[in-house]
Structures are given as structure tokens and as C-alpha cells.
Amino acid sequence: MVIIMQVLVFGIISYLTLKAFNLIMPVRKKLSCEVGMMASMMLGAMAGFLAGTVLALNLDYTLNTFLAAVIGIGAGVIIGMPFNQLAILEGIMGGLMGGTMGAMIGEMLLDNSILIMSCFLVILAFISLNLLGKAIKQGAGILKKTEASGSQLKKISLLIACIIAAMIVIVIVGHEFNNQQLNKDPIHIHHHESD
């Protein structure tokens, strides 16, 4: 199950990187350096974060950190190459940052929580790719930039307030759930201690 999940996540990382590359290549001459830097940093960080989280299931922390950083750096460099050295450097640093953070998160989470976190990160990655696609199209002049009206700002404010309220409820429910689990099993064994 672990290997299947890791292969699936690596497939998603590859898809996201190729999709972003295909969005950028046709219009790269029309895009600013800032768009290239943002794209390479976002893809590098997300690839490293995802890789570090799932590699924690069967690798020790040091190897996990190294491999996740290499995967993140690779994705960031691929996206930064059509632009310039600054975009490549941004991809390297984003990949390094994402890989180390993903390895830390993966090390701290229990095995079943890694699956949940990975699903959350994949959803966030696809949302980010969608927003990146819009930013690329706006930067290339394909998509017209729009400014939010007063009613749109009110809707966005209400949405943000609802998301914050939902997050608070999730934290409270999760805290209570963890307390109940710890009361049932007072000995908390981390997934790496069984190795």
C-alpha cells in the first residue's frame, strides 16, 4: 500500500510539473521574470513537500530529506529553465525548502495522518496549478485582468470567515479525537520506532 501511494504521488508530481511546463513554454517570451520565479518556486516547493511527506513512510529522516529536496529542486529547475538564472535559483531554493519541510512533516505524522496530509497537499497542488495557469494567461495577455467589485469582495470576505470557522471546528474536533485515542492507547508509538 505504501509503495502504491508513493508511486501515485510521484505520478502527480510529474503531471503537475509537465502541465506547468506546457503552460509556460508557448508564452514564455511574453511572461515577466516574476511569473517565472513564482512558478518555479511554487512547483519546486510543492513537489518537495509532497515527496518528503510520503517518503517518510519507509525512509529514515536523512535520506528522506535528501531525496525530497532533490525531487523539489528538479521540479523547480525544470520550470525555471525557460526563463533565466533567477527563476532557476528560485526553483532550487523552493525545492530545498519544500523538501526539508515535507520530510519534517512526514517524520512527525503517524502513518494514517500521512495519507490525510498527502491528500490535502495534492488538492492544494491542483488548486495552485489552476491559479498558476490563470496568472500565466494574464501575464501573457491571453486572459484579461479583472478587479473585484464590492459584492465580490464581500463574498470573498464571507468565504474566508467560513473557512476560518471551519478550520477552528476541525482543530477542536481533531483535538478531542486525539485525546480519545490517547485515552484508549496511552502508549504512543511513532511509525519509525518499530523499525
pLDDT at 188 over 60: no
pLDDT above 70 as % of the chain: 91
- All residues at 6 or more sequence positions from 137 whose CB lies less than 8 Å from its CB, including other chains: 27, 143
pLDDT of residue 93: 96
pLDDT of residue 97: 96
Instruction: State pLDDT tens for residues 111-145.
Output: 888 888 998 999 999 999 999 998 898 888 887 77
SS (HEC) of 70-82: HHHHHHHHHHHCC
Q: Considering all CA atoms of the chain, what is the largest pairwise distance in Å, rounded to the nearest integer?
A: 60
Residues 133, 23: contact at Cβ < 8 Å?
A: yes
**Segment holding 23, helix H or strand E:** helix 2-24
pLDDT at 100 over 90: yes
- All residues at 6 or more sequence positions from 116 whose CB lies less than 8 Å from its CB, including other chains: none
Residue 149 three-state SS: coil
Instruction: State pLDDT tens for residues 40-93.
Output: 999 999 999 999 999 999 999 999 999 999 999 999 999 999 999 999 999 999
Closest CA to 44 of 84, 11, 89: 89
**Domain locations in the chain?**
2-146, 148-195
CA distance 132 to 122: 15
pLDDT at 183 over 80: no
- Binned at pLDDT 50, 70 and 90, residue 182 comes out as low
